[in-house]
Amino acid sequence: MRKKGMILILLAAFVIGLTGCRKNDQQDDVFIADDTADLGEGDIGDSAGSDQEETAETPPAEEEEAQAETPPANVEMSEVSAPDADTDVYEIVLGVGSDETQAIVKWYGTNTDAGTVYVAKAAEMGGNTFPTTAQTVNSTVTSADYQSYMVNAATITGLEADTEYCYMVGSGNGWSSLRSFRTGKPGQVDIIVTGDIQLGTGDNDGENVAAWNRIVQDTVAKFPDYNMHLNMGDVTTMAFEDHYVNSINNRLFSDYVTGVVYGNHDAAGDLWNKHFSQPNQSDFAQRDGKANGNFWFKYNGVLFMELNYAIEDLDILVDHKYFIEQTIAANPDCKWRVVLMHYSPFSSVAKYQDYSNQNREYWLQVFEEYDIDVVLNGHDHAYTRSYMIQGGQAQKTDAASVTNPEGILYVTFSSASGSQYHDINPTEYAAKTLQTYTPHISTVNFTENSFQLTVYDANSWEVLDSFEIIKE
């Protein structure tokens, strides 16, 4: 009965109009009602889904995609169509899966029974209508411990390379509009990197939310064919649910496979793991009884190892070493090894440098022992690109490209939203430091033989820094 009702609703939506699943569609208006006293300052009605101002500086998309509105002749259509707006679906995050063939999608809804994900190749969609060959995956449902909301989690499998997919999520209580994502070409991954979004600082919160909405729209429009989004931690300031809504209820989190590092501000609550995936979660470095452990994933030959190194508990440092050792032993064939962790061993912010100095020697030894290529960090709200670091020494060169380097590159990404900045105090290890007092969006592009980093000013889209590593 429920399915029949759902199909009728979806058919009605289909009759109303076909919208396709293009990335630059406006985000739907979706909010979680604010009925608790501990949601912090700000009106949730001002959050990410609200009407967004047009910006004069929206960058042109790199490539306009054709929008398929009629079913391909050789594909049989189902009776299932996505509606034009979300109903009872909130904060969809397309989390990273174990590898490039998978994605772990999470969302909030009021359904207590399993929800469903429909996913199909964009080329086989008939506008908003799914083909009969669409993959359906049921979600597991657990309490969000927030009002009457439940956390839905479902793993999409069997994804093919270099393919655009459309999906929707929901339940008998309501469905999302279409979302989409694109998988990487073989041997490649194109990544959007965001530093600390950290909305809800209590300082200009409304303006910061509006700025972040504009940055998300610009970023999604500029990089429609990218495959992944990595956030370096501190998604919110106080880990309140309405702050998560402001930060993640957008296409940057739903239309790119997204990996999120555990930051010290995320540790202020227990919502981080309700929203973000932790494929191959490790027992090492479990924190605070919150089921947050280190995790790893690989994507087209790049091995990503996330370390929950966000709190000053030195006694578990060795856990990270064991985790790296085991992860690399299980994935000996990956050409690139990347560590993701919130705190940098090479901070350029004075108030963080004592801590940075304290554990640097340990990290350098571990990362060199396991032949890590690149370490990506956040937390500073300022940008730092280190020299290649070998044996604790900076390999000083002004070159923007290095070939077959011996050392390791450490990159600390600045604020993606502009909600907070810290002044810089550069060290001898830094090849480039920036405090532009503007938000940054960065890209990282891996091929089998190259790593390319590009840092943009997210207001002007001027390129602020770039660096390349070649492996021959």
Q: Nearer to Fe ion by C-beta: 91 or 234?
A: 234
- Tell me how far, at minimum, the Cβ of 379 lies from Fe ion, in Å: 4
> In b/e form, how buried is each residue of 118-139, taking b as 16+ CB within 10 angstroms?
bbbbbebbbbbbbbeebbebeb
The reply to whether 263 sits near Fe ion by the rule CB under 5 A is yes
- Tell me how far, at minimum, the Cβ of 394 lies from Fe ion, in Å: 24
Find the part of the chain contacting Fe ion (CB under 5 A) among 65-73, 76-84, 255-263, 418-426. Answer: 255-263
Q: Nearer to Fe ion by C-beta: 253 or 413?
A: 413
Q: Nearer to Fe ion by C-beta: 22 or 379?
A: 379
- Bridge-based pairing state of the strands 388-390 and 393-395: antiparallel
CB of 235 within 8 A of CB of 273? Answer: no
Q: Pick from 264, 390, 395, 450: which binds Fe ion (CB under 5 A)?
A: 264
CB of 409 within 8 A of CB of 432? Answer: no
The reply to whether 380 sits near Fe ion by the rule CB under 5 A is no
- DSSP states along 341-390: ESS-TT--SHHHHHHHHHHHHHHHHHHHHTT--EEEE-SSSSEEEEPEEE
Q: Nearer to Fe ion by C-beta: 264 or 438?
A: 264
- Tell me how far, at minimum, the Cβ of 376 lies from Fe ion, in Å: 14
Q: How far apart are the first and last CA of the chain?
A: 60
Give me 238's structure tokens: 């106080």
- Tell me how far, at minimum, the Cβ of 93 lies from Fe ion, in Å: 20
Find the part of the chain contacting Fe ion (CB under 5 A) among 112-120, 144-152, 261-269, 271-279. Answer: 261-269
| Binding-site size, Fe ion (CB under 5 A) | 4
Q: Pick from 320, 379, 381, 385: which binds Fe ion (CB under 5 A)?
A: 379
CB of 88 within 8 A of CB of 148? Answer: no
Radius of gyration of the chain (CA): 21
Q: Nearer to Fe ion by C-beta: 184 or 195?
A: 195
Site for Fe ion in 212-241 (CB under 5 A): 234
Q: Nearer to Fe ion by C-beta: 243 or 379?
A: 379
Q: Nearer to Fe ion by C-beta: 32 or 261?
A: 261
Task: Give Cα 347 distance to the centre of its chain.
Answer: 22
- Tell me how far, at minimum, the Cβ of 343 lies from Fe ion, in Å: 7
Cα–Cα distance for residue pair 281/266, rounded to 1 Å: 17
- Tell me how far, at minimum, the Cβ of 234 lies from Fe ion, in Å: 4
- DSSP states along 18-67: --TT-TTSPPP--------TTS-SS-GGGSTTS-----TTPPPPSSPPP-
Give me 370's structure tokens: 């396991």
Question: By beta-carbon distance, which residue lies closest to Fe ion?
Answer: 379
Residues in contact with Fe ion by the rule CB under 5 A? 234, 263-264, 379
